[in-house]
C-alpha cells in the first residue's frame, strides 16, 4: 500500500532537485520543513509552495552544523511528527570554483556524507519510538561506478547509498523505510557547471515525481533514468582494468 506523507523535511531545498521536490510535494494540508543556504532562493521556493496550499517553514541552515540540524528536526517533529525526511543537500566538483582539489574533496565528503548523518539521525531518534517514518538519502548513479572526473563525489555518493541500504535492513523491525535515491543527470545549478555532454539529461520536475513515487512505494533504491542506470550498472560489472581505460577518456569537471 502506498505511503502517505503529511509532514516532510527536505534539505538543500533552495535549488535543483531539492527545490523540485519541495514544489512537487507541496499540496493543501501538507506541511513542509525546508532548509538551504541561500536565503533569497529558499524564501522564493517556500512562497511558491505556500501558493499551492502547503504549510511551510523555511530556515537557512548548513547541514554541517550538527547542533542546528538536530534542533531544527526536533522542533519540526514537535509541531507535527515527520513522515518523510529527505537528506538532499550536497555538492560536487565543478560547483565550488575548480576541480577536486584536496580542500574540495574534503568539503564534498563533509557535506555529502556527514551532512546526511546530521540530517537523518535526529529524525531516526524520533521515528523509532513510534515505529513509523521514511528516510531518503540523495545518492547518484555515480555511486555504482567511480568516475575519474569526480572521484570524491562518486565515493561520497557510494558511501551514502551503501549506508542507506544497510540501514534499511537494520531498521526493518522498527517500521522505518529507508531509500537511496540515485538519479542520473538532472537539470540544476550543479549540472549547469558541466561543460560536457550529459546523456538523458532530465528536467528537475520530472525527476522529483519519479522520486516521490518511489518513496511512496518504499523502494530500496530509486535509480533513473533506466537507460543510464543500465549502462552504469553494466560498467560496474566489467573488469576494473577495462573500465579504468574507458572512463579515463571522459572529460573532467572544470
C-alpha cell at 244: 579504468
33, 72, 153, 224: which is the annotated catalytic residue?
Answer: 153
Distance in angstroms (rounded) separating the CA atoms of residues 144 and 11: 23
Residue 65's region, left for phi above 0, alpha for psi from -120 to 50, else beta, is: beta
Peptide bond into 225 cis (omega under 30): yes
Q: How many angstroms separate the CA atoms of 10 and 161, rounded?
A: 18
Rounded CA separation 17/136 (Å): 13
DSSP state of 186: B
Q: Give the CB-side neighbour count of residue 145, counting CA atoms within 13 A.
A: 21
Q: Active site includes 229? A: no
Q: Which residues are known to be catalytic?
A: 153
Amino acid at each position: 500500500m502506498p505511503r502517505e506523507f503529511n509532514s516532510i523535511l527536505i534539505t538543500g531545498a533552495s535549488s535543483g532537485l531539492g527545490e523540485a521536490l519541495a514544489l512537487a510535494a507541496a499540496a493543501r494540508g501538507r506541511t513542509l520543513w525546508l532548509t538551504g543556504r541561500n536565503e533569497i532562493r529558499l524564501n522564493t521556493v517556500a512562497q511558491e509552495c505556500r501558493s499551492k496550499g502547503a504549510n511551510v517553514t523555511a530556515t537557512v541552515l548548513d547541514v554541517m552544523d550538527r547542533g542546528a540540524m538536530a534542533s531544527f528536526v526536533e522542533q519540526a517533529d514537535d509541531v507535527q511528527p515527520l513522515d518523510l525526511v529527505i537528506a538532499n543537500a550536497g555538492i560536487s566538483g565543478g560547483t565550488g570554483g575548480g576541480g577536486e582539489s584536496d580542500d574540495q574533496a574534503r568539503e564534498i565528503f563533509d557535506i555529502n556524507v556527514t551532512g546526511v548523518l546530521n540530517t537523518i539521525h535526529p529524525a531516526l531518534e524520533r521515528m523509532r519510538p513510534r515505529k513509523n517514518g521514511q528516510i531518503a538519502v540523495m545518492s547518484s548513479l555515480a555511486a555504482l561506478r567511480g568516475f575519474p572526473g569526480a572521484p570524491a563525489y562518486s565515493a561520497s555518493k557510494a558511501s551514502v547509498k551503501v549506508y542507506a541500504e544497510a540501514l534499511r535492513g537494520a531498521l526493518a523491525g522498527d517500521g522505518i523505510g529507508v531509500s537511496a535515491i540515485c538519479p542520473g543527470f538532472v537539470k540544476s545549478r550543479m549540472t549547469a557547471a558541466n561543460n560536457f555532454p550529459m546523456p538523458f539529461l532530465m528536467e528537475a520536475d520530472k525527476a522529483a515525481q519519479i522520486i516521490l513515487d518511489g518513496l511512496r512505494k518504499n523502494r530500496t533504491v530509486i535509480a533513473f533514468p533506466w537507460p543510464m542506470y543500465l549502462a552504469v550498472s553494466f560498467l560496474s560489472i566489467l573488469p576494473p582494468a577495462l573500465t579504468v581505460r574507458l572512463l579515463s577518456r571522459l572529460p573532467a569537471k572544470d
